[in-house]
Structure 1
Amino acid sequence: MSDRKEFRDLAEPTKAHDAIASLDLEPEPETVPLADARGRVLAERVDADLDVPGFDRASMDGYAVRAGDTFGADEVDPATLDLVGEVHAGSEPDVFVDEGECAEISTGAVMPDGADAVVMVERTDELGTETIEIRTSVAPGDNVMPAGADIAAGQRALGPGTELTPREIGLLSALGKDEVEVRGKPTVGIVSTGDELVRPGGDLDSDAGEIYDVNSYTIAAGVEEAGGEAALYPHAGDDMDAMEDALTTAAEECDLVLSSGSTSASAVDVIYRVIEERGDLLLHGVAVKPGKPMLIGRLAESAYVGLPGYPVSALTIFRTFVAPAIRRAAGVPEPRTATVDGTLAAEERYSEGRMRLMPVGLVENEAGETLVYPVDKGSGATTSLVEADGIVEVDADTEYLAAGEDVTVTLFSPDVRTPAVLAFGEDDPAFSRLLDRLGSSRFLPVGSREGLRRLRDGLPDAAVVAGPVRREVESVELGAWEREWGLIVPEGNPDGVEGFATLVDGDLRFVNLDTATGLRASADAELERLAAARDTDAADLQSAIDGYGFTLKAHESPARRVLAGKADAGLGLRAAAEKLGLGFVPVDTETVRVRANPERVEKQGVRDLEAVLAGVDEVLAELPGFAPTE
């Protein structure tokens, strides 16, 4: 009578998941050429080290002007400017636009020095060959896409854990990256066991009970699909020495070894003995059908999982227990369907009479329902695609989509997952670093004011708000810190800038931040205090500062302008100044607050964000001018 070893007590499926999770499958990161990066997962965050676009460019055909020369101009009383030259896309400007002058400019061309706005050609007339009549007024920045408007140098472009699809590859290309550090693919050695197996293509003796090896190729395909790298080994017979040689060889070369077959309690199925003698058997038998005969353990320095021999059972167990572990090790998200149904989070109007492929993002509300929100920064912005999850097709005759309306989203990839937490608000280096600690997050740096507006409308899970707030919004504070702000100047402060008073009274070029940012709100408040002290109007002081009305969006962008010699001073943070080796004139501190949507505080992603914020002091210690709140 043969010696049979019975299964040990069958483990619950949760125990099998826990056992596999306890195994270390994660390989070391590796650097790959950008051409080979599609489908890989970033191992570290990627910051932009240049502005995209890298220059201020015209967004339409027309005339580059000084905005101040057009103030008050209209159809009845046009302004007349001298034409001093022309600038074409792809060429370096060789003209300077002085007061009372303009230059013809093409869409995409570099803005010439002196000009700060573009008047579209349709609102102009030629008066001879050297004079242009302007029939509208423009403000600084009108019809100009400033350097860094798509993404600015110093901004967080992509975070660790990002799967690189063609969208992200496009962004990395725009940033000039030719290689990138990615998560390593776990190498999975596959050994099919059993004397009866023959590799496809070999001679099969059916009379002797031989069958083709199905599992090796089936499981290898599953490994590749899950983000691993499969390595096929010659199949092993039921002899213990042969099985031991095959398994230990694979264990020496791979992060995980998968075998199929020889996991039952039969005396000839000896594989569990190999694991017990050469490694550590953690589990033998799972209470699941199909797939009861399953092994989990360690072999040498590798993880080991033994799958059932029947192909259906083997693939079922692989997909249920092993594939998720490989995906976690490779950083690959769980698969999902290619379309998602959801409700529109806010109304969207469209009336151009053409079919619209609207980029949208996804977020889950407190009830687990999918909300869909438009993501559109313009056709020239690469980041619109990175921040979106898919497309909603809007018919040409649809002019209005109501909030709450049901829509179907075609995902960019079946692997797209709704971010665990969605936040809008202030561009802040401390929060940017905290985001790296979240497994799945999306943050849109739209500024404090816009972040609060979106929070009031109920779209994001959280908003990052800095500086003075004029209109409160119901929210739950998750964390807060202080940051020092002021004027960023060239190293050594050659112009002797002491504060905003120097800019008001002097002849210096200043670069400002967008009115939606908390830093800008703090700067405006400081000018109001200065105006009160001088018994004048704050608007007059703003007008006295050259460049106050021409703004950028990212917190580091003004500092980059100063570093490039394009401005004498800029609004910014001490952290940005020290990072770039620039001078800093402190003005004040402001509080940064992370506020949660009160309806989402129990959402798991918000809880994870709150847990990450609990460690903010460690991040603040690394940033000059940052400190915990009192």
Structure 2
Amino acid sequence: MAKHTMKGFDSLLPYKSALSIFKGEKWVYPNSIQLPLDSAGGKISSGEIISSVNIPDKNKSAMDGYALKSTDTLNATPANPVKLSLKGTIAAGDTPEEIVNDGTCMEIYTGSIMPEGSDAVARAENCDVIGKYIYVYSSVNKGENVAPAGEDLKIGDTILDKNSLIHPQNLAALKSIGISEVNVYGNISIGIINTGKELVNKQIENSTGMLLRTFYTSSFTETIDGGIVDDDEKSIALAVRSMIERCHILIVTGGSSLGRKDMTTDALSGEGKMLFSGVSIKPGRTIGLFNIKNKPVLSVSGLPVAALLSSMIFVDSYIKNIYGVDYIHCASSILDESIHNRAGFTTFQIARTYAIDGELHSIPLNTKVSGNLSAIIKGNSIIKIDENLEGIPQGIRVNIYIIGDIKWD
């Protein structure tokens, strides 16, 4: 694939072209692994699981009462109750040995297996017990108060779809059909190296590294801290060489701003192939993409908001390509204030989204400065404005990426 470069950042690759280049590479992805159910919550399934059994596996009582033949109760009324011989009791967990014949019944509790010969359960409150007999005061239909085999789960039911997030309810269903382990994708490891003399000398705190490490940590992703490296080509190359063996994606911050004295681009180019440098997105236009050992390496701004918003596009694409799920959830929202956009740029606008009367509404926040953390602190969502738009007017419904909690009324 041809290398796309920019000279002085005055020639930027369109957003869609950059994403297409990223998707066109044959990246290395995590392998499928097998985990016990207790460790599988929040992971992504790597295979479909179909039930091979019925749940319940046998007809069971849906309430406390008496298991009987429905035909014995056809003429039962309060004035003319039906008298049945009581043959015993079936508790939950018991395997009934008695057979219910005409004119007989068995006391049964909720969840107990129905005895052979019975096809209905008379409610306890509709019966009286006198000695070894019960008196049934109302008729019972066939199947009444019975949970039939397979009512909950049937043979052939899908318990877990491939490429789906495993929730507690999935684990409970898997346990109920006797499965103790499940195949999942191994965690995606995202390495983060921060560069810059100002970080090495502690002139400023490494807030960008903190933001990226915490944002990209989830139940199916993990981050590896590659530390802080000086603006020196050899040092950066050594750090990259070490980290690339430990992660699936590598993000290098601080090495893409015009005029900096760092050597990130040269270091990364020496380790692999540069695919592009500079994309028409705001913020974070200085982002570069490199292929090193078939793993994506992103060179991003050292400013926190720009680093996050530019890198998340490609991290989300990587995750969706293997898992089929979005790392960043999307929703539809009504725009409360108009947004202006610079022609030719795809803009990612931080917004504050709230709910009122069951509808989401979004207010764009000021993010003119790429390193401005105040907006991302106040914001909980991102609005993408396409490059062919000069803006979005108030009242229009827009798609948002959710990056924080939304309070519902």
TM-score range, shorter chain: 0.7 to 0.9
After TM superposition, list the pairs within 5 Å mapping 1:40-51 onto structure 2.
40-51=43-54
Following TM superposition, by how much is the alpha carbon of 1:187 offset from its aligned partner in structure 2, in angstroms? 1.3
TM-score (norm 1): 0.49
- Tell whether the 8 Å contact from 2:48 to 2:160 is kept in structure 1 after alignment: yes
Amino acid at match of 1:151: L
Q: Say if 2:15 is the partner of 1:22.
A: no
Show structure 1 runs of 5+ residues with no match: 199-203, 342-405, 410-630
Conserved 8 A contact 1:19-1:296: no
Which of 85, 90, 93 is residue 90 of structure 1 equivalent to? 93
Aligned to 1:185: 187
Q: Structure 1, residues 96-154: CA drift from partner, whole Å, max 9, x if none?
A: 2112111111112111121111111222233x312222222223221111222111233
State whether residues 42 and 219 of structure 2, in contact with CA within 8 Å, keep that contact through their aligned partners in structure 1. no
Structure-2 change in CA distance of 1:289 and 1:224 (3 Å) = same
Give the whole-Å Cα distance in 2 for the aligned partners of 1:261 and 1:315. 12
**4+ aligned runs moved over 4 Å, structure 1:** 334-341, 406-409
Q: What letter is aligned with 1:86?
A: T
| Compared CA separation, residues 49 and 129, structure 1 to 2 (3 A) | same
Are 1:26 and 1:184, in contact at CA under 8 Å, matched by a contact in 2?
A: no
Partner of 1:313: 306
Work out whether residues 164 and 323 of structure 2, in 8 Å CA contact, stay in contact via their aligned partners in 1.
Answer: no
How far residue 8 of structure 1 moved from its aligned partner, in angstroms, is 6.4
In structure 2, distance between residues paired with 1:14 and 1:337: 19
Contact 1:248/1:299 (<8 A) preserved: no
Q: CA RMSD in A?
A: 2.8
> Given that residues 319 and 327 in structure 2 are in contact (C-alpha distance below 8 angstroms), is that contact kept between their aligned partners in structure 1?
no
Q: What is the CA–CA distance in structure 2 between the aligned matches of 1:99 and 1:17, rounded to whole Å?
A: 73
Q: Does 1:159 align with 2:161?
A: yes
Partner of 2:74: 71
Matched residue count = 332
Q: Say if 1:84 and 1:160 are closer, same or farther in 2 by CA, change over 3 A.
A: same
Partner of residue 170 from structure 2, selected from 168, 171, 174 = 168
Q: Compared with structure 1, are the counterparts of its residues 291 and 267 closer, same or farther at alpha carbon in structure 2 (3 Å cutoff)?
A: closer
Alignment correspondent of 2:198:
196
Q: Deviations over 1:81-102 (max 9, x none)?
A: 2111111122222322112111
Q: Residue 272 of structure 2 is aligned with which of 272, 279, 282?
A: 279
In structure 2, what is the equivalent of residue 302 of structure 1? 295
Distance 1:245 1:309, change over 3 A: same
Bigger proportion of residues as helix: 1
**Alpha carbons of 1:338 and 1:8: their partners in 2 closer, same or farther (altered >3 Å)?**
closer
Q: What letter is aligned with 2:121?
A: V
Helix, strand or coil: the match of 1:234?
Answer: strand
Percentage of identical aligned residues: 29
Unaligned runs of 5+ in 2: 1-5, 335-356, 361-409
For 1:215, the aligned partner's letter is: T
Partner of residue 36, structure 1: 39
Kept after mapping to 1: 8 A contact 2:23/2:317: no
Distance 1:130 1:103, change over 3 A: same
Instruction: Provide TM-score, normalisation by structure 2.
Output: 0.74
Deviation, structure 1 residue 251? 1.6
Highest RCO, 1 vs 2 (Cα 8 Å, sep ≥ 6): 2
* 1:103 aligned residue: 106
| 2:399 corresponds to | none
Structure 1 counterpart SS, 2:238? helix
Query: 1:65, CA displacement in angstroms?
Result: 0.5
- Rounded to whole Å, the distance in 2 between the matches of 1:255 and 1:235 is 19
The answer to whether the 8 A contact 1:222-1:323 is kept is no
Distance 1:322 1:147 in 2: 45
